[in-house]
Amino acid sequence: MWYRFLVASLIASAFIPSLTSSQETASVVTNNTTREAYSQAIQPLATEDMQTFQQGRGLVRQSWIISPALDREIAGLGPLYNRNACIACHAKNGRGFAPDSPEESMRSMLVRLSIPGKTITGAPLPLPWYGDQLQEFGAPGVNAEGRAHLHYAETDVLLNGGEIVSVRTPRISFSNLAYGSMPDNLQTSARIAPAIYGMGLLAAIPDSTLLALAAQPKPGKIKGKVNWVWSAEQQKTVIGRFGWKANVATLREQTASALAGDMGLSSHLFPHGNCAKEQTACQQAPVSGIPEISAAQLEQMEFYQLALAAPAPRQQQQASIQRGALLFRQAQCAVCHQPEIKTGAFPRLTALGEQAIAPYTDLLLHDMGPALADQRPDFAASGSEWRTPPLWGIGLAKQVEPHAGFLHDGRARTILEAILWHGGEAEESRNMVQQMSRQERQHLLDFIESL
Ligand code: HEC
Ligand code: HEC
């Protein structure tokens, strides 16, 4: 069995272009193009780092169960939760998708809730009865909060050359609301799970680089700013870089907030799980430990994600892909989706430090126009601002998860649809793609598929 993999990777590596020398020696990228493409560790990892990686992998893949349970080690799910495992939403560490119809349930996405205003830390203001996220499942004796449904209106977009692309505009509704009706001034944000590889490299980009990118003059309407978010760990406001609005400071906090918000597992960073202020049954339900996830377990989960390699680009020598790469720059995509960034020193995992990487993101917030707006501010991000998502590995998304969706709410079923939704600061880029010849557009898509 192993030799087949070896042969496959040898064949694959014959097509891999020469990467920058630092990437070759430290191998923070992977040439794996199978369904496991997003699950590879950076190479090499020291023996004890490999052990931590494996332990973290086990916890990220763990299906948690409701307390009280004999298996205390894996208990603690809920009492309110969305899914029972990280990989239920991030299947094979990849991205999630939106349901295709209102009847279908949300399998790898969630709906954030708030009312206008901010908490003392600047976070969106949670609802007293539902908190800041709708949990669709409850432990015995604790009512699930309700269900969210997505309804779509399809419209046609006409492209130069006569091609017609149908895009769908989502609308959210709720049913089975167990804690009363939603307020009139409710703010919602439906978000699919993004992929979780390459997180360590994004964490290793220095703050100073992000501030410099934000300050750089940019063509046309393009701007870009950092989000400033409250860090529970550092007890101060810092630059945000994770989440669709760069609304979370660190990978450890992102992990702890997913444990609490999505699965109801408490940790030292989020000791109270996810019961809303007025949800007494939730607050009185049994727990499996205080906290349910130890600091060591949280570190292991964080380490696993830090060490997950990003896929290397493929077939960069092909003429069509090279044409596409050029068009990508000409259409100003690269201003936001930055193809070249250098990481800084990263003591936690030194291999991630001082690397030339190609994440195709600036981690900055951009106003993407009214069509993509959720009208729900998140720290310094306005209702229409989103973090540029990294594009590395995006070409393998459907290989890893055939349903994989694009954009924050998974409305885009294809990469072309995702591009056609670009507005606001990216409106000119979008128009250029619409006006390209059919052939040019194909080159551009081939290029993105090669990442
Ligand atoms: C219910 C589905 C769901 C579950 C379960 C879930 N996530 Fe997520 N994850 C999401 C969504 C949705 C986002 C985007 C959140 C946002 O924009 O605020 C996200 C974001 C992330 C990010 C940030 C990625 C980026 O590009 O910034 C990481 C890392 C992450 N999750 C890790 C985890 C881990 C680890 C677990 C398990 C402890 C987990 N998630 C459980 C849905 C889920
Ligand atoms: C002004 C900055 C900006 C420019 C210019 C820009 N993008 Fe984006 N791009 C974004 C942001 C922000 C998002 C996320 C929007 C959302 O989720 O609602 C995004 C999303 C995407 C996605 C979907 C990614 C995912 O993870 O689902 C693709 C693909 C993409 N852009 C490609 C392009 C291409 C191709 C161009 C040039 C034609 C381009 N972008 C120009 C900022 C930009």
Residue 8 has a pLDDT of: 40
Tell whether the model's pLDDT for residue 9 goes beyond 90: no
What whole-number percentage of the chain has pLDDT above 90? 91
Check: CB of residue 421 under 8 Å from CB of residue 373.
Answer: no
| Ligand 1 pocket residue status of 443, Cβ below 6 Å | no
Residue range 116-173, pLDDT digits in tens: 999 999 999 999 999 999 999 999 999 999 999 999 999 999 999 999 999 999 999 9
Q: Is the dihedral of CA 166, 167, 173, 174 positive or negative?
A: positive
- Name the residue ranges covered by the structural domains of the chain: 55-196+250-306
Q: Quote the pTM value.
A: 0.94
CA 272 to chain centre: 24
Average pLDDT over residues 389-410: 98
Residue 356 has pLDDT above 50, yes or no: yes
> Which atom of ligand 1 sits closest to the CA of residue 241?
27
Do residues 301 and 189 make contact, with C-beta atoms less than 8 angstroms apart? no
Section 215-235 average pLDDT? 97
CA distances from 136 to 6, 107, 442 (A): 43, 10, 40
With tokens 């898509």, the residue in question is: 445
- Structural contact between residues 246 and 202, judged by C-beta atoms closer than 8 angstroms: no
Q: Which atom of ligand 1 is nearest to the CA of 106?
A: 1
Q: Which pLDDT score is estimated for 16?
A: 43
What atom of ligand 2 comes closest to residue 430's alpha carbon?
38
DSSP conformation class of 192: E
> Any residues with CB less than 8 A from the CB of 273 and at least 6 apart, and which?
79, 260, 264, 265, 266, 287, 292
Give me the pLDDT at residue 25, please: 55
> 365-367 and 385-387: which strand pairing?
antiparallel
Ligand 2 pocket test target in 422, 429, 451 with most atoms within 8 Å of CB: 422
Question: Region 223-242: what's the mean pLDDT?
Answer: 97
Express each pLDDT in 18-47 by its tens digit: 444 444 456 999 999 999 999 999 999 999
Of 10-19, 157-166, 431-440, minimum mean pLDDT range: 10-19
**Confidence band of 72 (pLDDT split at 50, 70, 90):** confident
Reported as a pLDDT band with limits 50, 70 and 90, residue 341 is very high
CA of 197 to the centre of ligand 1 (A): 12
User: Which residues is 156 bridged to in the sheet?
Assistant: 166
Is the CB of residue 81 below 6 angstroms from any atom belonging to ligand 1? Answer: no
- Tell me which residue has tokens 């020598």: 317
CA 332 to ligand 2 centroid distance, Å:
11
**Could you read off the pLDDT of 48-64 as tens digits, one per residue?**
999 999 999 999 999 99
Per-residue pLDDT, 17: 43
DSSP state of 225: B
Residues 38/308, Cβ–Cβ less than 8 Å: yes
- Half-sphere exposure (CA, 13 Å, Cβ side) for 323? 13
309-327: per-residue pLDDT in tens? 999 999 999 999 999 999 9
Which residues lie closer than 8 Å to 442 by C-beta, 6 or more apart?
A: 320
Ligand nearest to the CA of 419: 2
- What mean pLDDT, rounded, does the chain reach? 94
Reference 129, options 258, 275, 284; nearest CA is 275
Q: Specify the residue with its C-alpha closest to ligand 1, atom 35.
A: 255
- Rounded to the nearest 5°, which phi and psi values hold at 368? -100, 15
Tell me if 225 CB under 6 Å of ligand 1: no
Q: From ligand 2's centre to the CA of 150, what distance in Å?
A: 22
**Residue 415: CB within 6 Å of ligand 2?**
yes
Paired residues of 155 in beta bridges: 167
pLDDT tens, position by position, 75-131:
999 999 999 999 999 999 999 999 999 999 999 999 999 999 999 999 999 999 999
Residue 196 Cβ < 6 Å to ligand 1:
yes
Tens digits of per-residue pLDDT, 276-314?
A: 989 999 999 998 889 999 999 999 999 999 999 999 999
Q: What percentage of the chain reaches a pLDDT higher than 70?
A: 94
pLDDT band at 273 (very low <50, low <70, confident <90, very high): confident
On the question of pLDDT at 408 being above 80, the answer is: yes
For residues 259-271, average pLDDT:
96
Residue closest via CA to ligand 2's atom 9 equals: 388
